[in-house]
Amino acid sequence: MTANQSLTDMRLTAIRFAARDTNLYEFRRPDGASLPGIEPGAHIDIHLPNGMMRQYSLVTAEGDSSTYVVGIKRDRASRGGSRYVHEYLGVAEILKIGGPRNHFPLKEDAAHSVLIAGGIGITPIWSMAQRLHKLGRSFELHYACRTRDEGVFLQDLQALPQAKVHVDAEAGGFLDVAPIIANAPTGSHFYCCGPLPMLAGFESATKDLPAGQVHVEYFTAREEAATEGGYVVELRKSGLEFAIPEGRTILQVLRDAGVDTPYSCEEGVCGACEIQVVSGEVDHRDNILTETERKASKTIMICCSGSKSARLVLDL
Ligand code: FES
């Protein structure tokens, strides 16, 4: 995981149509300077003028080093993130951008990589495909969209021999990821980003593979937040203690008490609220940490995870 938490003023320099309900948003620094390098799979934090902060995957890790481009689909259930972007953001506006950060890194030297994406989940996967293509590595890409007019980068994908496009409406159903995984060469690395049913199918089909070969990016929560309460959180640096009651998350209690700590999605998918754990047994509910990282329990996402022990000490 890489981190660059400082914020940069960036100008929205172009909005381009990508597919129905999806636009590409291009950002540059006002002085035109180069930007920190991008790893495939990385995302940036966009601080919106309405006070929200949202993470969006970068579309490309190649080419112009003075731009960041993200693909944003207008989510019909939007709580103000993608809806605000589509309705109110205009070219020339200056926004604060954090990152890039990467919770979905690509293992570039794998013998073979299998990239699977659904819908707007193509954005980090497309970045990975471009890198693997540039490096001349062996890979295959499977992209599913509901209808052809909702498909993002369809022309580019159709020009890429390693890519296969599945249109649900034309195929008469969803893409079945199980045979793709079963037929891949032994030792392949598998990546998936897409809607929850696709991710569930992917996790089921890869459950017997070594965890290090399986890589997933979630946009929405997969587990309920831990709100059982009944434990105490101690902040080591400030010496403050908080009883976490039933129905509340650690983040909510800290915010109510005026403790200034970063957060964004409040769904366990962005990593903005990650804090080092000093002691205690974490009840992990996020979508970011791997099983190995959960067992090591060195960090916690306080927006959704709780504590199995009576006391949890955080490095805050
Ligand atoms: S705020 Fe996004 S993971 Fe906690």
Q: Does the C-beta of 301 come closer than 6 Å to ligand 1?
A: yes
Residues, the chain? 316
Please check whether residues 206 and 150 belong to one and the same domain: yes
Please check whether residues 243 and 191 belong to one and the same domain: no
Please check whether residues 57 and 27 belong to one and the same domain: yes
What's the average model confidence in pLDDT over 99-112? 93
Please check whether residues 213 and 117 belong to one and the same domain: yes
Please check whether residues 181 and 120 belong to one and the same domain: yes
Please check whether residues 89 and 164 belong to one and the same domain: no
Q: Does the C-beta of 303 come closer than 6 Å to ligand 1?
A: yes
Q: What angle do CA 72, 45, 11 make, to 5 degrees?
A: 75
Strand order in the sheet with 163-167: 163-167, 139-145, 113-118, 189-193, 214-217
Cα atoms found within 13 Å of the Cα of residue 226, Cβ hemisphere only: 22
Which helix (DSSP H) or strand (DSSP E) does residue 132 occupy?
helix 122-135
* Cross-strand partners of 217: 193
Q: How many separate domains does the chain show?
A: 3
Instruction: Compute, in angstroms, the gap from residue 58 CA to the centroid of ligand 1.
Output: 18
What's the average model confidence in pLDDT over 62-68? 84
* Mutation to probe ligand 1, out of 303, 314, 316 (largest number of atoms < 8 A from CB): 303
Position 79 scores a pLDDT of 67
Q: How far is CA 64 from CA 34, 61, 134, 217, in A?
A: 9, 9, 15, 25
Q: Does the C-beta of 152 come closer than 6 Å to ligand 1?
A: no
Residue 19 domain-assigned (yes or no): yes
Q: Which of these ranges, 54-58, 120-124, 246-250, has the smallest mean pLDDT?
A: 54-58
**Is residue 119 within 8 Å of 35, Cβ to Cβ?**
no
Instruction: Report d(CA 54, CA 39) in Å as an integer.
Output: 19
Q: Does the C-beta of 265 come closer than 6 Å to ligand 1?
A: yes
Using alpha carbons, select from 296, 306, 274 the residue that is nearest to residue 1.
Answer: 274
Please check whether residues 45 and 139 belong to one and the same domain: no
* Cross-strand partners of 131: none
For residue 84, the domain's CATH number is 2.40.30.10
Instruction: Compute, in angstroms, the gap from residue 299 CA to the centroid of ligand 1.
Output: 12
Q: Does the C-beta of 268 come closer than 6 Å to ligand 1?
A: yes
265 CA closest ligand 1 atom index: 2
Neighbours of 74 (CB within 10 A): 17
Instruction: Compute, in angstroms, the gap from residue 316 CA to the centroid of ligand 1.
Output: 16
Q: Does the C-beta of 273 come closer than 6 Å to ligand 1?
A: yes
Please check whether residues 154 and 190 belong to one and the same domain: yes
**Is residue 127 within 8 Å of 100, Cβ to Cβ?**
no
Structure tokens at 178: 């199980």
Residue nearest to ligand 1 atom 3, measured at CA? 268
Task: Mark which of 176, 192, 217 sits at the end of a domain.
Answer: 217
* Mutation to probe ligand 1, out of 79, 263, 275, 300 (largest number of atoms < 8 A from CB): 263
Residue 107 domain-assigned (yes or no): no
Kind of pairing between the strands at 311-314 and 231-235: parallel
Residue 145 domain-assigned (yes or no): yes
Q: Mean pLDDT score of the chain, rounded to an integer?
A: 93
Instruction: Compute, in angstroms, the gap from residue 287 CA to the centroid of ligand 1.
Output: 9
Please check whether residues 134 and 63 belong to one and the same domain: no
Domain that holds residue 301: 231-314
Residue 2 domain-assigned (yes or no): no
Please check whether residues 128 and 204 belong to one and the same domain: yes
Radius of gyration, alpha carbons of the chain: 20
For residue 240, the domain's CATH number is 3.10.20.30
Instruction: Report d(CA 14, CA 209) in Å as an integer.
Output: 42
* Cross-strand partners of 96: 9, 47
Position 265 scores a pLDDT of 81
Please check whether residues 119 and 205 belong to one and the same domain: yes
Instruction: Report d(CA 290, CA 38) in Å as an integer.
Output: 22
Position 3 scores a pLDDT of 36
Structure tokens at 260: 């200034």
Residue 225 domain-assigned (yes or no): no
User: 56 or 77: which carries more pLDDT confidence?
Assistant: 56
303 CA closest ligand 1 atom index: 4
* Cross-strand partners of 143: 117, 165
Q: How far is CA 304 from CA 5, 98, 109, in A?
A: 21, 22, 34
Residue 106 domain-assigned (yes or no): no
pLDDT digits (tens, 9 = 90+) for 227-248: 999 999 999 999 999 999 999 9
Task: Mark which of 101, 136, 165 sits at the end of a domain.
Answer: 101
Residue 108 domain-assigned (yes or no): no
Task: Mark which of 101, 131, 156 sits at the end of a domain.
Answer: 101
For residue 153, the domain's CATH number is 3.40.50.80
Specify the 3-state DSSP secondary structure of 172: coil
Please check whether residues 119 and 151 belong to one and the same domain: yes
Q: Before 124, cis peptide (omega within 30)?
A: no
Q: What is the pTM of this model?
A: 0.83
What's the average model confidence in pLDDT over 144-148? 97
Residue 222 domain-assigned (yes or no): no
* Surface-to-core class of residue 281, CB atoms within 10 Å of its CB (0-12 exposed, 13-18 middle, 19+ buried): middle
pLDDT digits (tens, 9 = 90+) for 156-172: 999 999 999 999 999 99
Instruction: Compute, in angstroms, the gap from residue 33 CA to the centroid of ligand 1.
Output: 30
